[in-house]
Structure formats: C-alpha cells, structure tokens
A and B are shown apart, each in its own frame.
Chain A
Amino acid sequence: MTAVLERAELDQWVGVCRYDQLLPERGAAALVGGRQVALFRTSDGEVLVVTNRDPFSGANVLSRGIVGSRGGVPTVASPMYKQVFDLRTGRCLDDAAVSVPVLPARVRDGVVEVAVPAGP
C-alpha cells in the first residue's frame, strides 16, 4: 500500500473550498489536481485530508464515513465495511497492512488549501 507522501514530493498548495463549507466532524470529497480526496474538519478546528478511495472496497467513499476518535487519535470509519483509519497517518487501525495516503492541509484566509504532489 501507498505510504504517506513525502514532503519533498509536494510542489504546491491548492485552494479547495471555504473552511465554513466543511461541517465539523464530517468529511467532504474534493477534486485536487485530478485526485479524489476526502477533507475532514474535526471538532477542534483541524483539517485533515486523505485520498477518498476506500482500499477495501475500491469505491471513493471515505469522505462519507463517520468521524470520531479511537484512543485519542482522530479517525474516520469507512462507510462500506467499517474499517477505521487514523486521519493523521492514514493507517488502518483494523488492519495493520493497509493505509491510505495523507495529504497536508492548512487554512489560509478562510480557505482550505491542500498540498498536492508534483508529477503525474
């Protein structure tokens, strides 16, 4: 499975949506540089981004999962077969062999920006 993307591979921050378009503790799908990603706004204001594809089903649905915490770690549960992912690392907490790519995100002037990797 894909590892967490290295900072060195990133080349630019892309504005995706207004911060207030995201609901607290809920995800939203977005198209960033041709990739489908899932944005999550947690209750403490953080924005976390993973790719939207659920590795267990192959469907682009992680953004529609329930957000929460497990042992203090912010998580999303895939709506398809309910595996839980750590939103900070992309690691699947129910299957150590599986993870999803994480993308860095930040909020500038009320706009959510996601760092997209260079290249194809």
Chain B
Amino acid sequence: MTRTLVVAGNGMVGHRLVDALRARDGVGAWRIVVLGEEPHPAYDRVGLSAYLDGRTLAELSLAPALDDDPRVELHLGRPVTAVDRAGRTVTTRDGARIGYDALVLATGSRPFVPPLQGADLPGCFVYRTVEDLDAIRDRVRAVGAGAHAAVVGGGLLGLEAAGALRGLGARTTVVEFAPRLMALQVDEGGGHALRRAVEALGVRVLSGTRTERLEPGADGAVARMVPADGDPIDADVVVFAAGVRPRDELARDCGLPVAERGGVLVDATMRTADPRVWAVGECAAVEGRTYGLVAPGYAMAEVVADRLLGGGAEFPGADLSTKLKLLGVDVASFGDAFAVTPGALELVWSDPVAGIYRKLVVSDDARTLLGGVLVGDASAYAALRALVGARLDVEPARLVLPEGSGAVPAPLAMPDRATVCSCHNVSRREIAEAIRGRGLADVGAVKACTKAGTGCGSCVPVLKSLLADCGVAPSRGLCEHFDVSRAELFEIVRATGIQTFSELVTRHGRGRGCDICKPVVASILASLGTGHVLDGERAALQDTNDHHLANLQKDGTYSVVPRIPGGEITPEKLLVIAEVARDFGLYTKITGAQRIDLLGARVEQLPAIWRRLVDAGFESGHAYGKALRAVKSCVGSTWCRYGVQDSVGLAIALELRYRGLRAPHKIKAGVSGCARECAEARGKDFGVIATEQGWNLYLGGNGGFSPRHAQLFAQDLHTETLVRYIDRFLIYYIRTADRLQRTAPWIESLEGGWDHLRAVIVHDTLGICADLDAAMERHVASYSDEWRDALQDPDKLARFTSFVNAPDVADSDIVFVTERGQPRPASPQERAVLVAGPTLGVAG
C-alpha cells in the first residue's frame, strides 16, 4: 500500500532526500509531497554567487527535476506553517491540510542578523536566496559607481558575499569580530595568508572588530557602519553573514524537543522524538549538534531515504573538511585542522610572496596524517584528505614543502576504504571497482556511474589518478604521431621556433602525421603568425577548406564567403556580390553571421571569383578556417530607439582587429547595442552588450550541437579595457585549449575555471598579460588578406586546378538543377535523368 511522505522544505537537502528515495523506491511504496517556501525548484545554494556572474536560476537548479515524476507532487511557494502530530497532518500557508504517514522537516536555516541598531534599515541584506541577491544587485546599481559595501562576518559566507559585492563594483569592507578570517576553518597562519590574498584583491578587512550600529543617510537608507572602536565606515550596502540559525519553529510549535542551541533534536537515524517525524539538513540537531555544510545534510538525507524503505542506516558523523575558492583564493581545511589531538605535531610551510600557506597535522610519531589547512593552493587537498588516518609512507615534510621539493601523494598510497568523494560518500574501492568492472574510460563515465565528483568537484583530480592507476589513463596525446596535447605542442613550437611539420614530427613525434595532427600544427603555425597558410610545406598540412580557402560542399564544390564586417555593407558592394554570383552561376544565401554565402563554385573557378571580389574591396571571410568568423551586430544607437551604444562601430572594429586569427576552433562574436540583445551576443564565444556606462563582456557561448549561453565576465567596461580583455581571452584560449575545443568547454577545463580565467585576464596572476597583449598586437600588425596574397602568387594559384593534366576541364560529375530560381546539386535520381536526356535547366 502506498504511504504518503510529506517533505517540508525544498532546499538542497530536501531535494536530495526526494531524489534518493525515489531512486531506491522501486515498488512505489511512497507518494511524496514536497512543500517548499521559495517560488523556485531547489537550486544550488552553494553556488549562489554564480547567479551574479550571469548564471541563470535555471542553470543553478538541481537536477533531476522532481516534478516530472508522477510519484512526486512539488508545491512551490506553499510552506508548512503547522504540524498536527496527533492528526498526522500539516497545514500550509494557504490553509491546506495534508495528511502524512511520515514527515521530514527540511526547513533549513535562516541567516542570523545581529540585534544592532539600524540593522533593519533599507540597504541591509542577508545572503541566502536568489531574491536576496537580486535585491543586493539592485541596491548596488541604484547607488551607482563608487558604492561602498560592508559585510558583517568574515567567515565562508561573508567572503563569498564580499566577492559578489566586489564583482558588482562596490568598494567592499569585511568586518569580522574574530581576530582572523574564516576562524572556524583555518588557523592563525592560514588566516594571515587569506587576509593578504583578499586584501590584494582590493577588499578591506577589519578583523577583531565589533559592529556597534548602522546609521542612515539623508535618504533614510543605510550609509555608515560604526564600529565599537575606530572610525565609521561608509556603507551604502550592508550584508549580514554572521552565521545561521536552524529553522526549528515547526518542531517547537508541535512540542518536539529541540537542542539547547536550536535545531530539531534527532538521533543518529535522523528521527525526532516522534517516530513518524524526521529532520534533515541545517534545521536538524543530530544528537544535539547542527551542521552548516551541505555534505552532512546529504548524508542525513540518505539515512532517512534508507530508513523509510526499511533500512538500518545511521548518520556516520560528518567530515567537516572544506575546500573552496573565495575571491579566487583556494582555501581548504580538513581533518584535525587545529591539532587538538593530544600530542599532535604541526608542519607548516608559509610563502607570503607566492601567497601560499600549508599546514599538516600529524600524529605524535609523525606517521599518521590527522588533518591540515591549505591556503593559496589547495590542489593537493583531495589527495591529502583521503590520506587522513592512513599510515604515511613518506616523510611528512615532503607533503608540506612546495612542488619540486615535495611530492603529492599518489592515490596508490590511499587506503581502499578512504573516502574520495565526501559529497556522495564514495570510497576509493567503489570507484576502482567501477572502473575495472564496468570498463569506465574517463572521468565523465566515473561521474555518471559512481556519482563521485558530481558534488563540489574537488575530488576530480583523484578520479583522474585512479583511472591512471587502473590502467585506463586517457592519453593526452593528439594522435598516434604525437604524445603531447595541443597546448603542449603549441608551447613546443613557440619555444623552439620550429616552422615545419617535418621537423616537428621528427623531433617531437613519430611517423608522417595524419588528418588530426597536421591541421593542428598548421593552425598553431598560423596562430603564431609565421606566414601565409599556403606557404611551402605548410600548404600540405591544411585540410581542404584551408587549402582552397573555401568551404567544401557535399558534391565537391566550394562555398565563398567574403568578409562583411559587422554585417554592414554598401549597396555598391551588394551589387558586386550579386554580379559575381550571377556571372559564375552561384547559389546565394544569407548566413546567420550576417554575411552572404555563394555556393557551387568549382575549385578552378575560385581564383577568378576572388579576383573580382578582391578588386571590389572584399577580403576573405575565413568561413573555411578554425578562426574568427564574424562579429554580428544590431544597428545600435545609430538608428535604434533603444540602443545606448554604437554596436555596429564596435563590431566592425573588433572584426577587423581579430580577422584572420587562427584558433583551436571557430570563434564567433556579437555586439548588441542594448540589453534587448538583438545580436544574440550571449550565444557567441565572446559577446558584448552595451550598457549606459559602457560594455558588458560575456564569454564562452556557442550555438551548435551543445548550445551554451556566454557568462558575464566583466561589467561596464570602457572600450579600451574591453578590447584588452578580449585580446587576452583569445590568445590565452589559442595557446591552451585542446584541438576542436570551443571556448565554453575550455573554460570549464581550466583548473579553477572562471575564477582562474578572471584572475589571469583581469589581475594578471600568471604574469603573462604583457605577453598576451604583445601576441595580439603582433597578430593585428601582421594581418594580411589570404585571398589577395594567394592571387599574387603563381605557385599558390597552381593548386586551384581541377586536374593537374587538364587544368581547365571541369569535373563532369558536378551537375546542378534549378530550384526556386537558383542552382543546387542534382540528386542521384535527377542525375540519372540528366545523363540520359537533355533539359531540366542545367546551370553553370
């Protein structure tokens, strides 16, 4: 018989409970009614700050959606307001009563707002929901440039909020009562390192400071924060991030016991004093203790799902290890981070110059790792955390000292029972068995099969090494001729100055190359600006599109696309295109990139077609290349009633700047003159959208097989800064992306992702910006039209022949018929008729 489970709350843990229960409830034992307070389905609250970077609510929503399962009823905006335990019903805010056989309280927590004078002034916020973030953003924008923000609380959430405020352009101060930042996670040394890193990003830190009161300005909204001692701080926006309090009112009101410091009291099975009522997540106090992280909440959800189906699971206790990136700074803390174990020893490496602090805590005999703190570089976190409790077979000092002198422990040294993924509680043994038993070949397959790596993602490096351990390391090599990746090959070519494929494959590869590596090398040489794509031996490396500077079509003919920068073209030039198409019998079509495609050109016709086009002032549109294609634009402020900037002018300038730039994949771009976004710039590798103050830059969009929206990278930029950021983005992409990797997956593949990209481009953390800028300047200075050059070189023109021994004879198998007044390739049936008899309107 089907029973009814009511879940009060649709946050991350509530969602996890429902997902886990229905995944295991094969017989349909439970009908699940979810009553959520927020108007949206559960979303990733841990990743909330990404919302301000342009990630949409839909993108933040947790998968899988619950409402497509007939066993689940999802009610949004209908929170539970009362529980009648005797009658086994809950009442929702709109007065509905719903009966339950089991009730799970998953109501989460609320931000703690300290009882300060002025804490309720307009301009004061908490940081928990998308609505909070909308309000914060609106406030910062309303105040305008030069807004001051203050964050009360320098813990994890406070730094997260500070990062978001800084991203919105506010001058931000973090006020922390404790003597250091993130006092719960890191020790004094780590706190110092973190503070230096945060201050280097322009965020002011006042630690050991108590907020006395908040004062309004003339408009009645908050304007100043007054500390207990010291000078007042300007603050047009105040965000409270001073901890959370469990939302345990439902339990209190229905007489269930709560913990001394709040939280619905549950035992290790997550049951309250009423056997039909359970509590999970931040509202629960497991044997008196509350947990503010998502991983323990997930573990609680799994326990309840198991118990509801008759299992015997118990809460295993929580691993409070954390690894996060705050304001671009890696921070990790795991195990006994504060060395409270009796006799524990601490090994510390601190490098204030590089901004790195690393501490490991080991047992008194230095043989067992107990915990640690990592600031500035947490790349070893996953491997080290998995070693906690295991016997070390290396000198502990080697794990602390910087790379080169030390060694990150191989996962081989990791015991089988070690938890690799603490979000989903997956052990090394389970992963290794899945890899071997099910023949998993890459990280994606491991994620899909074991769920490991699908939570916070910090264990992904360990998954990679485990794959290697199991003998299935995916080769980074390009193909059988090169064992190195495209990015490595790029660096080899750049460093050695090798200019020919034959020398490169002899010195750094083997064999004679193939259709994988040859175009890659051709592209690298082109990206480095070392001459025409058809110069000498290089011509042989190009695939047919680059070799003929045109796009191969299904019948062996080519298409011709002249560049029309920004989509702007004069009537005179339109006439030239029309005449060329008519004279050569070409099919014409407007492309999605605001250009005109001329199709049906035979290889031997290409030079004559292009001579006409070049003489009329056209140049190659690089539609055939893995290169910048076009910069699409709307008409912008010049004509449009709503435009706020000259989008056509900028699009033309960008297209002329980046034309001819060869890359690992094609690059598309767009510029919109206002937020209505008619140029579809967010569907492009780089997109620019005008604002009243300047330009917003979006990166990493594309259409095609896996469409992606570009994400907001920077706001309200001056044109000069905008161009500099795009320059760096493009050159960094060209140097480091894989073959055929577009910008969106490239950004994801970067260690550190978006934060890393921003750090490199905006803050020059790698110290390469001058080099990137110079590389783009070289490109701009050395650009020359490929078709104009080819037309002036008899050797290059010699390749545009139909037959080496009959250069002017056309391929007789190319046959066109007329459709809607234009030529198109004949179908096999039409071809049979055409060969047999005359007529049918053969063109060309």
A31-B803, A31-B805 are known contacts. Are A65 and B515 too (CB-CB below 8 A)? yes
Contact string against A for B residues 138-174, beta-carbon threshold 8 Å, 1 for contact and 0 otherwise: 0000000000000000000000000000000000000
Asked if B556 contacts A61 (CB within 8 A), the reply is yes
Asked if B512 contacts A25 (CB within 8 A), the reply is yes
Asked if B811 contacts A67 (CB within 8 A), the reply is no
Q: How far is the CA of A107 from the CA of B32 in the complex (A)?
A: 80
Residues of A15-30 contacting chain B, CB below 8 A: 16-17, 21-26, 28-30
Inter-chain contacts of B556 with A (CB < 8 A): 57, 59-61
A30-B804, A42-B512, A68-B512 are known contacts. Are A80 and B554 too (CB-CB below 8 A)? yes
**Residue B689 lies at the interface, judged by CB distance under 8 Å to chain A:** no
Name which residue of chain A comes closest to B555, CB basis.
A59
Q: How far is the CA of A32 from the CA of B804 in the complex (A)?
A: 11
Asked if A28 contacts B515 (CB within 8 A), the reply is no
Which stretch, B116-124, B235-243, B539-547, B707-715, touches the partner chain A?
B539-547
Contact of B512 among A28, A43, A60, A82 (CB under 8 A): A43
Contact string against B for A residues 43-55, beta-carbon threshold 8 Å, 1 for contact and 0 otherwise: 1000000000100
Name which residue of chain A comes closest to B541, CB basis.
A66
Inter-chain contacts of A77 with B (CB < 8 A): 514-515
A79-B552, A80-B554 are known contacts. Are A16 and B515 too (CB-CB below 8 A)? no
**Residue B67 lies at the interface, judged by CB distance under 8 Å to chain A:** no
Q: How far is the CA of A53 from the CA of B543 in the complex (A)?
A: 17
Asked if B803 contacts A30 (CB within 8 A), the reply is yes
Inter-chain contacts of A29 with B (CB < 8 A): 802-804
Inter-chain contacts of B547 with A (CB < 8 A): 64
**Residue A7 lies at the interface, judged by CB distance under 8 Å to chain B:** no
Asked if A23 contacts B540 (CB within 8 A), the reply is yes
Residues of B604-642 contacting chain A, CB below 8 A: none
**Residue B69 lies at the interface, judged by CB distance under 8 Å to chain A:** no
A24-B540, A25-B540 are known contacts. Are A31 and B809 too (CB-CB below 8 A)? yes
Asked if B514 contacts A16 (CB within 8 A), the reply is no
Whole-angstrom distance between the Cβ of B74 and the nearest chain A Cβ: 46
**Residue B353 lies at the interface, judged by CB distance under 8 Å to chain A:** no
Inter-chain contacts of A58 with B (CB < 8 A): 813, 828
Q: How far is the CA of A103 from the CA of B515 in the complex (A)?
A: 23
Asked if B539 contacts A23 (CB within 8 A), the reply is yes
A59-B554, A59-B556, A66-B543 are known contacts. Are A82 and B805 too (CB-CB below 8 A)? no
Residues of A50-106 contacting chain B, CB below 8 A: 53, 57-61, 64-72, 74-75, 77, 79-80, 82, 84
Residues of B779-814 contacting chain A, CB below 8 A: 798, 802-806, 809, 811, 813
Asked if A43 contacts B502 (CB within 8 A), the reply is yes
Asked if B552 contacts A60 (CB within 8 A), the reply is no
A65-B515, A68-B512, A69-B513 are known contacts. Are A80 and B552 too (CB-CB below 8 A)? yes
A24-B540, A61-B552, A61-B556 are known contacts. Are A68 and B802 too (CB-CB below 8 A)? no
A30-B804, A79-B544 are known contacts. Are A69 and B552 too (CB-CB below 8 A)? no
Asked if B805 contacts A30 (CB within 8 A), the reply is yes
Contact string against A for B residues 188-201, beta-carbon threshold 8 Å, 1 for contact and 0 otherwise: 00000000000000
Asked if A82 contacts B804 (CB within 8 A), the reply is no
Asked if A79 contacts B543 (CB within 8 A), the reply is yes
Name which residue of chain B comes closest to A21, CB basis.
B804
Inter-chain contacts of A23 with B (CB < 8 A): 539-540
Name which residue of chain A comes closest to B537, CB basis.
A24
Q: How far is the CA of A59 from the CA of B518 in the complex (A)?
A: 23
**Residue B246 lies at the interface, judged by CB distance under 8 Å to chain A:** no
Contact string against B for A residues 8-20, beta-carbon threshold 8 Å, 1 for contact and 0 otherwise: 0000000011000
Asked if B514 contacts A17 (CB within 8 A), the reply is no
**Residue A39 lies at the interface, judged by CB distance under 8 Å to chain B:** yes
Whole-angstrom distance between the Cβ of A83 and the nearest chain B Cβ: 10
Asked if B554 contacts A70 (CB within 8 A), the reply is no
Contact of B554 among A57, A65, A82 (CB under 8 A): A57
Q: How far is the CA of A9 from the CA of B285 in the complex (A)?
A: 89
Whole-angstrom distance between the Cβ of A73 and the nearest chain B Cβ: 10
Q: How far is the CA of A31 from the CA of B805 in the complex (A)?
A: 7
Asked if B803 contacts A75 (CB within 8 A), the reply is no
Inter-chain contacts of B813 with A (CB < 8 A): 36, 53, 58-60
Contact string against A for B residues 553-594, beta-carbon threshold 8 Å, 1 for contact and 0 otherwise: 011100000000000000000000000000000000000000
**Residue B519 lies at the interface, judged by CB distance under 8 Å to chain A:** yes
**Residue B665 lies at the interface, judged by CB distance under 8 Å to chain A:** no
Q: How far is the CA of A100 from the CA of B553 in the complex (A)?
A: 21
Whole-angstrom distance between the Cβ of A49 and the nearest chain B Cβ: 12
**Residue B480 lies at the interface, judged by CB distance under 8 Å to chain A:** yes
Q: How far is the CA of A73 from the CA of B4 in the complex (A)?
A: 67
**Residue B548 lies at the interface, judged by CB distance under 8 Å to chain A:** yes
Whole-angstrom distance between the Cβ of B821 and the nearest chain A Cβ: 25
Asked if B540 contacts A60 (CB within 8 A), the reply is no
**Residue B511 lies at the interface, judged by CB distance under 8 Å to chain A:** yes
Inter-chain contacts of B548 with A (CB < 8 A): 64
A65-B515, A70-B514, A77-B514 are known contacts. Are A31 and B806 too (CB-CB below 8 A)? yes
Inter-chain contacts of B511 with A (CB < 8 A): 68-69, 72
Residues of B496-543 contacting chain A, CB below 8 A: 502, 511-515, 517-519, 537, 539-541, 543
Name which residue of chain B comes closest to A17, CB basis.
B804
Whole-angstrom distance between the Cβ of B537 and the nearest chain A Cβ: 7
Name which residue of chain A comes closest to B802, CB basis.
A29
Inter-chain contacts of B804 with A (CB < 8 A): 16-17, 21-22, 28-30, 39
Q: How far is the CA of A31 from the CA of B808 in the complex (A)?
A: 12
Inter-chain contacts of A32 with B (CB < 8 A): 805
Asked if B554 contacts A68 (CB within 8 A), the reply is no
Q: How far is the CA of A67 from the CA of B828 in the complex (A)?
A: 29
Q: How far is the CA of A16 from the CA of B517 in the complex (A)?
A: 31
Inter-chain contacts of A31 with B (CB < 8 A): 803, 805-806, 809
Q: How far is the CA of A30 from the CA of B811 in the complex (A)?
A: 10
Name which residue of chain A comes closest to B831, CB basis.
A58
Name which residue of chain A comes closest to B798, CB basis.
A21
Whole-angstrom distance between the Cβ of B234 and the nearest chain A Cβ: 62
Whole-angstrom distance between the Cβ of B451 and the nearest chain A Cβ: 35
Asked if A26 contacts B554 (CB within 8 A), the reply is no
Asked if B544 contacts A68 (CB within 8 A), the reply is no
Asked if B540 contacts A64 (CB within 8 A), the reply is no
Asked if B805 contacts A69 (CB within 8 A), the reply is no
Contact string against A for B residues 810-823, beta-carbon threshold 8 Å, 1 for contact and 0 otherwise: 01010000000000
Q: Which of A39, A57, A59, A75 gathers the greatest number of chain B CB atoms within 10 Å?
A: A59
Residues of B451-503 contacting chain A, CB below 8 A: 480-481, 502
Q: How far is the CA of A24 from the CA of B555 in the complex (A)?
A: 26
Whole-angstrom distance between the Cβ of B836 and the nearest chain A Cβ: 18
Question: What is B's interface to A at a CB cutoff of 8 Å?
Answer: 480-481, 502, 511-515, 517-519, 537, 539-541, 543-545, 547-548, 552, 554-556, 603, 798, 802-806, 809, 811, 813, 828
A-B contact pairs, 20 of them (CB 8 A): A21-B804, A23-B539, A24-B537, A26-B540, A28-B804, A59-B555, A59-B556, A60-B556, A61-B556, A64-B544, A64-B547, A65-B544, A66-B515, A66-B541, A67-B540, A68-B481, A70-B514, A74-B512, A77-B514, A84-B515
Having A64-B603, A68-B481, A68-B517, one finds 17 other A-B pairs with CB under 8 Å, namely A30-B805, A31-B805, A31-B806, A39-B804, A53-B813, A59-B554, A59-B556, A60-B556, A61-B556, A64-B544, A64-B552, A65-B544, A66-B518, A66-B519, A68-B512, A68-B514, A69-B481
Closest 3 CB pairs of A and B: A68-B514, A77-B515, A59-B556
